[in-house]
Amino acid sequence: MNGEKKLIKKFFHEYFKKNKKLIKYPDEIERREFGFTFYQKPGMYRHISFNSLKELTEFLEWNTPINSHYSSAFFKNPAEREMEKKGWIGAEIVFDIDADHLSIPKDAFSFTWKCNKCGESGFGRKEKCSSCGSYSTSLVFWPNTKNLREAKKEAEKVLFNFLMEDFGLNEKDLLVNFSGQRGYHIHLKKKSFYKLKQKERREILDYLKGVGWKYDLWFRKRGEVVYGPGVFDPGWKGIIARSYSELLSRKEKLTELEISKRKIEEMREKSSLIKNNLQEKPAIWSNESFKLTKKEIGKIVESLLRKNRCSIDETVALDLKKLIRIPNTLHGKTGFQVKTVQIEDLDMFNPLKEAVLETDESVKIKTGIIPEIDLKGEKIGPYKFEEVEVPLSTAVLFILKGEAKLSEPRN
């Protein structure tokens, strides 16, 4: 066993040994399928089942998987290999919010690239190797504060604007986890949702994504006055009205509405009037003192729908037998905790502080290419083929990314 492998195995083993009590999920454990991957071993070992949490935590301690998953579904026979024989009973809905799927400018991401042909590497994203010209390059993703903040905002939107507000779910129906690398998983743990099939799950997803609204029906015209959604309306109507009202307070962002310059100037002048009209019951979108055409209303609503829709990985939400990370295990590409976050703590939660394990030890490593990264409130790197001494958890991240080796052999 090489030094890096020993170090990784020890890191995961120690964690699982000390933190058995943190592994509280999944519930109804004997109905779930499990799948694991191991350091430097290809493929996933799946169709595994356990009878108790104790069996699971012992397995984790002695086998030290680097990625640990369980099925969102409940099965009669979870260890059967063939799906028909497993006997599907139901499944939690899991919303996967991933920084990579959000519309953050791509240069805001930290990437490094590596050529699969000649081994050249560098900072940023590169599709073509600058040394040999090959198009076979791989990207390494590095978690960073900025895109994790965006992912958290998105998770809060899903939770607060939709699941809690519109679906009436509360803390005990929801389980929120940092995914361990670049986003969040929201588990919907309410039994009445478990039996929903794909078609019904699609309806929920479409609602969160603001898809398929015939918003023409939200408006009606009486003489010169157009009535529409108001800020006190429930659901999407209220979201659209409040978002429109907010937008009028932040003047510089009005261009998002994709309507004419002249109209935007008029809106700026009359913003307090429009905001008052949106508070009326019924709310007024257009009248003699401020006129909007049907087309202008359409453009406003469409851009506000786009702005407020949730960005969720569809395949995960619709999959009735998805394997998802076990809360409070570790992530095999970072060594970070797949940490359960209480909903009331989400606002202050910083994964690059709180999901990075505290370690006393430091380790001497030889690095590859590593961008600057903010870990535990400290800036680390950038490094380019350097010999450095870093905290153990940082060394684990770098080794798991394939960008560091130990300087000296260890015992």
Q: Pick the binder of Zn ion from 27, 54, 55, 132 (CB under 5 A).
A: 132
Q: Residue 346: helix, strand or coil by DSSP?
A: helix
Q: Closest approach of Cβ 113 to Zn ion, in Å?
A: 10
The length of the chain is 411
> In the complex, what is the shortest distance from the CB of residue 55 to Zn ion, in angstroms, rounded to a whole number?
47
Smallest distance from Zn ion to CB 371, Å: 20
DSSP state of 162: I
CB atoms within 10 A of CB 169: 17
Amino acid at 312: I
Q: Can you read off the two tokens belonging to residue 73? A: 């579904």
Binding residues for Zn ion restricted to 134-193, rule: CB under 5 A: 134
Retrieve residue 104's tokens. Answer: 């953050």
134/276 with CB nearer Zn ion: 134
Task: Give CA–CA dist 380/370, Å, rounded.
Answer: 9
Q: Contacts with Zn ion in 198-237 (CB under 5 A)?
A: none
In the complex, least distance from residue 136 CB atom to Zn ion, rounded to whole angstroms: 8
Q: How far is the CB of 107 from Zn ion (least distance, A)?
A: 22
CA–CA dist 97, 101 (Å, integer): 8
**Interface with Zn ion, residue 131, by CB under 5 A:** yes
Closer residue to Zn ion, CB minimum distance, 2 or 134: 134
> Is 83 or 118 the residue whose CB approaches Zn ion more closely?
118
Cβ proximity to Zn ion: between 134 and 255 the closer is: 134
8 A C-beta contact, residue 395 and residue 7: yes
Which of 13-21, 125-133, 253-261, 383-391 is the region at the interface with Zn ion (rule: CB under 5 A)? 125-133
Q: Single out the residue of 129, 305, 363, 397 in contact with Zn ion (rule: CB under 5 A).
A: 129
β-strand pairing of 93-98 with 183-188: antiparallel
Q: Does 247 bind Zn ion (CB under 5 A)?
A: no
Please report how close the Cβ of residue 372 comes to Zn ion at its closest, in angstroms.
24
Stretch that binds Zn ion, among 127-135, 172-180, 238-246, 351-359 (CB under 5 A): 127-135
- What is the enclosing helix (H) or strand (E) of 18? helix 3-18
Phi, psi of 170 (to 5 degrees): -120, 180
Q: Which stretch binds Zn ion (CB under 5 A): 133-141, 149-157, 201-209, 278-286?
A: 133-141
Q: Alpha-carbon distance 205 to 93, whole Å?
A: 10
Q: What residues contact 44, with CB distance under 8 A and at least 6 apart?
A: 35, 36, 37, 67, 69, 323
**List of residues 6+ apart from 219 with CB closer than 8 A:** 226, 227, 228, 285, 297
Q: Does 118 bind Zn ion (CB under 5 A)?
A: yes
Question: Closest CB to Zn ion among 112 and 277?
Answer: 112
Residues found near Zn ion in the complex (CB under 5 A): 115, 117-118, 120, 129, 131-132, 134
